Structure 1
């Protein structure tokens, strides 16, 4: 693991050669890292950036897998509830429609945006960014889309929705006959793949590739 230099003044080096720690604000000179290595802050140990192997290929595979899971996760049944002879099948899209039909249009809009629309927009932005790097076309648009993706990151709340589903299952399992649907497993798989994608798609390498600094990013 390479060690970073001691703090430097902004006047001593060009701004593009400096990096500040996100945790403790220590200002340092950027140090090149090799494949599989990472740079850490010498003061607090925070990981500043890393260089992962085949980051574009691996990220593309994960994005495509997430997009394939998106439709079944949102439209296949999450659970089937049998109570007093009545059967109800719930899906994520059905939950949005049910909230809207019961007069809670605002809540329905928030659920739709945070659990369906924004996660899809994030995946599409990631896909287009990775394709712009992989195919070496439209990198200026890729920069714009990657900025948009970073603004959307805090609005996609699949994990919050999953916690709501699990709480509902725990509360309903003692009141009625409850069967878990395929949609829930697809939803959990989608969430796990998105977390994996966040780890794999190293921001430092993506920014470098979009700016043309890392010619090996697509390897």
Structure 2
């Protein structure tokens, strides 16, 4: 049974001093953390949030690296296929065009959105949010853009496209001469950078920084 005194004490605190567990919905007073520390739910052990050192600077570096990898990952050859004397260079963009020209317009549009458009839009949203924090400008727009980014997170499916590409390469090895291109290395680098960015860009610190907490902008 919940403690009535503790519940009454929590209800008297301002909202910015409270935090709720995403797993078991336990409401508790937000702990004060230093760099490198993390808060866990006392009931279920779920990580509530963590404070990472220089989160904005590190996230900015990763966003810029991902944007630099984006163009070669999507437009340089992922593999070269040599079948019956005919050679073709396949890229992510040529795959979208191939689906479109084959009459599979819906699938082509879905692949374009999930593997090219939405990942780029996510990176641009992250860049705008981080710059608004770093330069201390347009925080209200930063809040709006970060909300948009949270809705886009589930639609960027580079890892699914990556698995599909690897399966296709393995199956083609018995049918044709396949050589891997620099585009595949860039695509893997882009995927790893985005995963690294997701773990580095602490949502709790970003929300606090957008709300005006100077301590969260380092």
Instruction: Give the TM-score range, shorter chain.
Output: over 0.9
Equivalent pairs, count: 213
Per the alignment, residue 64 of structure 1 pairs with 64
For residues 7 and 160 of structure 1, the distance between their equivalents in structure 2, rounded to whole angstroms, comes to 46
How far did residue 16 of structure 1 move?
A: 2.2
For residues 215 and 33 of structure 2, the distance between their equivalents in structure 1, rounded to whole angstroms, comes to 13
Per the alignment, residue 151 of structure 2 pairs with 151
For residues 144 and 61 of structure 1, the distance between their equivalents in structure 2, rounded to whole angstroms, comes to 22
Q: Flag structure 2 segments of 5+ consecutive residues without an equivalent.
A: none
Per the alignment, residue 126 of structure 1 pairs with 126
What TM-score, normalized by structure 2, do the two folds share?
A: 0.95
Correspondences of 1:70-149 after superposition (within 5 Å)? 70-149=70-149
For residues 11 and 32 of structure 1, the distance between their equivalents in structure 2, rounded to whole angstroms, comes to 19
Q: Which has the higher helix share?
A: 2
How far did residue 184 of structure 1 move?
A: 0.5
For residues 135 and 217 of structure 1, the distance between their equivalents in structure 2, rounded to whole angstroms, comes to 13
Checking the alignment, whether the CA contact within 8 Å between 1:37 and 1:51 is kept in structure 2 is yes
What SS does the corresponding residue of 1:179 show, helix, strand or coil? Answer: strand
For residues 130 and 83 of structure 2, the distance between their equivalents in structure 1, rounded to whole angstroms, comes to 47
How far did residue 28 of structure 1 move?
A: 0.8
1:159-187, CA deviations, whole angstroms, 9 ceiling, x for partnerless residues? 00000000001100111100000000100
Correspondences of 1:165-176 after superposition (within 5 Å)? 165-176=165-176
What SS does the corresponding residue of 1:154 show, helix, strand or coil? Answer: coil
How far did residue 35 of structure 1 move?
A: 1.0
Checking the alignment, whether the CA contact within 8 Å between 1:35 and 1:51 is kept in structure 2 is yes
Per the alignment, residue 36 of structure 1 pairs with 36
1:96-144, CA deviations, whole angstroms, 9 ceiling, x for partnerless residues? 0000001000000000000000000000000000000000000000000
Over the residues paired in the alignment, what is the CA RMSD in angstroms?
1.3
Per the alignment, residue 186 of structure 1 pairs with 186
Q: Flag structure 1 segments of 5+ consecutive residues without an equivalent.
A: 1-5
Checking the alignment, whether the CA contact within 8 Å between 1:7 and 1:29 is kept in structure 2 is no
- Greater shift, 112-121 or 16-25, is seen at 16-25
* 1:218 equivalent in alignment to 2:214: no
Checking the alignment, whether the CA contact within 8 Å between 1:19 and 1:28 is kept in structure 2 is yes
How far did residue 18 of structure 1 move?
A: 1.4
